[in-house]
Structure 1
Amino acid sequence: MTEARVPHEHHFNTHDGVSLFYRHWPATGAAPRGAIVLFHRGHEHGARMAHLVDELDLPDFDFFAWDARGHGKSPGQRGYSPSFATSVRDVQTFIQHIASAHGVPPEDIHVIAQSVGAVLVATWAHDYAPRVRGLTLASPAFKVKLYVPFARAGLGLMHKLRGLFFVNSYVKAKFLTHDPARIASYENDPLISRPIAVNILLGLYEAADRVVADANAITLPVHLLISGADWVVHHQPQHTFFDRVGSAIKTKTELPGFFHDTLGEKDRAPAVQAIRAFILRLFDEAPQAVDLRSAHQSGETADESRALVEPLSPWSPRGAYWAITRGSLRFGGLLSRGVELGHQTGFDSGSTLDYVYRNEPRGAGPIGRAIDRTYLDSIGWRGIRQRKIHVEELLCEAMERLAEKHREVRLMDIAAGHGRYVLDAVQASPVKASSILLRDYSDINVRDGRALIAEKGLEDVAQFVQADAFDRLSLASVLPRPTLAVVSGLYELFPDNEMVSRSLAGVGDAVEDGGYLVYTGQPWHPQLEMIARALTSHRQGEAWVMRRRTQAEMDQLVEAAGFRKIDQRIDEWGIFTVSLAIRTGP
């Protein structure tokens, strides 16, 4: 009998300085092939999945298992995280740590996650488009069974009224598994934490709704295991997720009679063998990504965009609703400065974005300012402001990376709007830029951007010119050649990937090898129809219809231009991403 593997104990640092605990079981085979990373259920910790290390019988693979923040041996209030999105980012940081500290690249990693851990991982796969080998999701908690009517709405209301509080798990161990030893260990494990913070519970619901609805964005190979007698979560969202997931390789294993602790059930051998077979299948073949570069022509987001372009009958209920909404916005523009500016220049214009960045309500009297405050606090504009913060963070990171290589910072923004986020980042960074070139097609943006350069006293290093962000030759001929380029909020406005590819090719021609690109994306938006039916764009008052690009699609377009993504940010609502890529050559 093979001797049981013994784990080594380690910690890794998260983005906000928390040191999370994890276990590492080194490979014992002669020819290491990759790594398996385990993510535990809610309330539990990594040691509860340790039995899989030996049961999967994969000696050529390292195994890793974390204790999520607020769980097991990791620090923090039990069951608490600042947000669900924070914990999703922890997943990204953990995978990056494994790559840097243990030398296992993401493409040689397979992820196994259960219950709440499976929702974390599914959200991570959707939002970050990681390039791991594949995912095994066991009984993902996409919809927890709440036996009290209107419990979710009630929790949301109580959270608004009371702030942070904790909800204790109602689930007894005997409803998780039929395994007596597993039941006993659950009941006596001092590291089990029954409370869960209400913000995490509500965040779990919101992320699960979004990921199930937009599962087509996940193109990694997926193995889904469904427990047939699950007392804890509903089955239907799991089936819906599987049907919608955009993977070319996907397998569903249904396990009749299994309780919720799928990977800890009494007779789990068939489930374990199914996981093992799926992993070996993936590692016996070269990884093949689903090609998304033509997603503007066919696919879910293309269909969605085309549907939003179609006019509605004014006599239909939806047509009447949006007509009333447009009328309300026209009236709001008489009182609110932000709404008025949107009507004048386009709600997607550089002038509107600069107004949103400043976040100072203006309008006709107290009522006008109150309307403007509501306008500025809409979820889309909150996401835009967070995107600005993330753009500035990654610009500063890129500048520091260049400084570490003793290279000049020559910065170019190909569609800068007023350029506020670039200039703010430059002023915040201890690294000095030797040149800043801001470009934009709009003469209004050029005028106001030049005024902003003067206001910030950066005339000695910065210039603003009128230019077309989709003119490859114009971009390629920029001198001096930039070492850092940024494109923020531009490609989201244009559905055609051929246009975006032409622009990115010009950026790739311009940026020196080893230089960096900061780029944004919009994989999700909860107000797409409202924007399309009620708001106008900067293009002569046309409807502002956006086609979402999944993060995987955006990353593929960037990679085709000669860049490789190395870091990413996303807001807590999953709307706007900001990524950092390095120029690796054609």
Structure 2
Amino acid sequence: QIAVNVLLDLHDTATRLLADAGAIHTPTLMLGAGKDWVVSLCAQREFFNKLSSSVKQMSVFPNAYHAIFQEKNRHAIVRQVRDFIIERFAQPPDAPSFLHADQIGYTRDEYQRLNQPGSVKFAVARAGLKAAGRLSNGVDLGWRNGFDSGLSLDYVYKNQPRGRTPVGRLIDKSYLNSIGWRGIRQRKAHLEKSLKSAIERTHRKGCPVRILDIAAGPGRYVIETLRTCPEIPVSAILRDYKQENIDAARALAQEFELDNVKVEQGDAFDRLSLASIQPHATIGIVSGLYELFSSNEAVLNSLAGLAEAIEPGGYLIYTNQPWHPQMEFIGRVLRNREGRPWIMRRRTTAEMDQLVRASGFEKIDMEVDQWGMFTVSIARRVFSLNNRAC
């Protein structure tokens, strides 16, 4: 017997895999069984058709059952698998470039669709959520400042339902418990874990620990992490372009009595401004920023600035959103910090990692939540023989 929770997780994962099959570019051989009463052959065909792989094959064996490799006459099945594997190893691997995935590709197509008018049900949902904002503090904050704003994220991090009435607090609790915000809180935990790991690695190498967060918002995950390692000398520069976030970060640093945190205004996409920061950081952070911008050119420009701001051998901690089950709801109902529809273009993990690699970093670690929505990665700044590694 299989536990119900395991079956539910399998169903959710299979649904996500089917919906996001376009992210797969690996050569793929699929084998289907005509008498399989466990797995839907229709779903298998849908998955196969959505694959972005340039090399893909699907064969259906009409008289085979679910345990296809346990069939009595399985020699034809095994032979096909063997031939496919031998053929793949006989050819050089195909390594597609995703640097222009913002201009062509299935996430770009999805982004374009979200920019088209939606159905009436989303207008109704928007009206309902605006009404809820009169009672729920979190929803009200989202409508006033943008659901993607630093202040909104800080409210989600705190995870303390508040409202004008008991009903308002109940609405706020439901809002904070949505799958997206649960994923965001898990991302925060992964950020803190990754940052602490980078601090300890840098300290063990005998290098000064200098942190630079180029879009820190209120800076909660950095400031709370610094409190957990008081024995290590650390300095941090927290930058943001919005004054309200700068004020919130300064207040939080003062509340925690941290005098090693400097908060300043700055544009995360200004390459020259980032490159001019002195002294150079040994740990750079960009969290929750690139997910808000579709253009890869803008991201590459920002990463180039970070590459110049981080010492060779230093670390970059970056986030990504390869998947979200509520992309359409978010884009058609919620508003961003600029008062516009909060429409995002997802980046596959392969795309984001290529952007980072093209900017002079080598990925060494990654964390991801149980729903596969948000990743937190660590990359090392590549150094040449002319550079001394930190």
2:296 match: 497
State the shift of 1:433 in Å. Answer: 4.4
Cα distance in structure 2, aligned partners of 1:333 and 1:231: 47
Secondary structure in structure 2 of the residue aligned to 1:412: strand
1:206-221 aligned within 5 A: 206-221=12-27
Q: CA RMSD in A?
A: 1.6
Cα distance in structure 1, aligned partners of 2:233 and 2:60: 57
1:205 aligns with 2:11: yes
1:572 match: 370
Amino acid at match of 2:178: S
State the shift of 1:278 in Å. Answer: 2.2
Secondary structure in structure 1 of the residue aligned to 2:236: strand
Q: Alpha-carbon deviations, 1:486-531, whole Å to 9, x = none? A: 1111011111111111111111122122211111111111111221
State the shift of 1:231 in Å. Answer: 3.1
Q: Which stretch of the first structure deviates more once superposed, 349-358 or 251-260?
A: 251-260
1:350 match: 150
Q: Alpha-carbon deviations, 1:76-110, whole Å to 9, x = none? A: xxxxxxxxxxxxxxxxxxxxxxxxxxxxxxxxxxx
1:24-423 aligned within 5 A: 195-312=1-118, 318-319=119-120, 321-423=121-223
State the shift of 1:585 in Å. Answer: 4.0
Equivalent residue in structure 2 for 1:584, among 378, 382, 388: 382
Cα distance in structure 2, aligned partners of 1:296 and 1:429: 40
1:514 aligns with 2:313: yes
Cα distance in structure 2, aligned partners of 1:408 and 1:274: 56
1:467 aligns with 2:266: yes
1:545 match: 343
Contact 1:399-1:431 at 8 Å conserved across structures: no
Name segments (4+ residues, structure 1) moved above 6 Å.
Answer: none
Amino acid at match of 1:527: Q
Equivalent residue in structure 2 for 1:442, among 239, 242, 249: 242
State the shift of 1:482 in Å. Answer: 1.0
Cα distance in structure 1, aligned partners of 2:229 and 2:46: 46
State the shift of 1:408 in Å. Answer: 2.0
Q: Against the structure 1 CA distance between its residues 433 and 328, is the aligned structure 2 distance closer, same or farther, given a 3 Å change threshold?
A: farther
Identity among equivalent pairs (%):
50
Cα distance in structure 1, aligned partners of 2:263 and 2:193: 22
Equivalent residue in structure 2 for 1:453, among 250, 253, 262: 253
Q: Alpha-carbon deviations, 1:165-224, whole Å to 9, x = none? A: xxxxxxxxxxxxxxxxxxxxxxxxxxxxxx212111111011101111110011222221
Amino acid at match of 1:456: F
Cα distance in structure 1, aligned partners of 2:309 and 2:55: 37
Q: Against the structure 1 CA distance between its residues 426 and 281, is the aligned structure 2 distance closer, same or farther, given a 3 Å change threshold?
A: farther
Cα distance in structure 1, aligned partners of 2:204 and 2:52: 40
Secondary structure in structure 1 of the residue aligned to 2:184: helix
Contact 1:248-1:290 at 8 Å conserved across structures: no
TM-score, normalised via structure 2 length: 0.94
Secondary structure in structure 1 of the residue aligned to 2:312: coil
Cα distance in structure 1, aligned partners of 2:268 and 2:336: 17
Amino acid at match of 1:425: T
Amino acid at match of 1:325: A
Contact 1:247-1:290 at 8 Å conserved across structures: no
**Between Structure 1 and Structure 2, whose CA radius of gyration is higher?**
1
2:329 match: 530
TM-score, normalised via structure 1 length: 0.64
Cα distance in structure 1, aligned partners of 2:111 and 2:217: 25
Cα distance in structure 2, aligned partners of 1:515 and 1:264: 51
Q: Alpha-carbon deviations, 1:423-471, whole Å to 9, x = none? A: 1122224662431011111111111111111111112x11011000001
Cα distance in structure 2, aligned partners of 1:559 and 1:248: 23
Q: Against the structure 1 CA distance between its residues 290 and 430, is the aligned structure 2 distance closer, same or farther, given a 3 Å change threshold?
A: farther
1:427 aligns with 2:211: no
State the shift of 1:372 in Å. Answer: 1.0
Structure 2 gap ranges (5+): 385-390
2:388 match: none
Cα distance in structure 2, aligned partners of 1:200 and 1:358: 30
Secondary structure in structure 2 of the residue aligned to 1:288: coil
2:277 match: 478
Amino acid at match of 2:306: V
Amino acid at match of 1:300: Y
Q: Which stretch of the first structure deviates more once superposed, 257-266 or 546-555?
A: 257-266
Cα distance in structure 1, aligned partners of 2:230 and 2:48: 48
Q: Alpha-carbon deviations, 1:100-158, whole Å to 9, x = none? A: xxxxxxxxxxxxxxxxxxxxxxxxxxxxxxxxxxxxxxxxxxxxxxxxxxxxxxxxxxx
Cα distance in structure 2, aligned partners of 1:584 and 1:545: 34
Secondary structure in structure 2 of the residue aligned to 1:512: strand
**Greater RCO, 1 or 2 (C-alpha within 8 Å, sep 6+):** 2
Secondary structure in structure 1 of the residue aligned to 2:124: helix
State the shift of 1:551 in Å. Answer: 1.2
Cα distance in structure 1, aligned partners of 2:123 and 2:40: 38
Q: Against the structure 1 CA distance between its residues 282 and 400, is the aligned structure 2 distance closer, same or farther, given a 3 Å change threshold?
A: farther
Q: Alpha-carbon deviations, 1:246-272, whole Å to 9, x = none? A: 112222233332222222322222222
Cα distance in structure 2, aligned partners of 1:498 and 1:197: 47
State the shift of 1:559 in Å. Answer: 1.0
Amino acid at match of 1:345: N
Amino acid at match of 1:284: A
Cα distance in structure 1, aligned partners of 2:304 and 2:133: 40
Q: Which stretch of the first structure deviates more once superposed, 250-259 or 356-365?
A: 250-259
Q: Alpha-carbon deviations, 1:346-396, whole Å to 9, x = none? A: 110000000110011111121211111111111111111111001111111
Amino acid at match of 1:323: A
State the shift of 1:279 in Å. Answer: 2.2
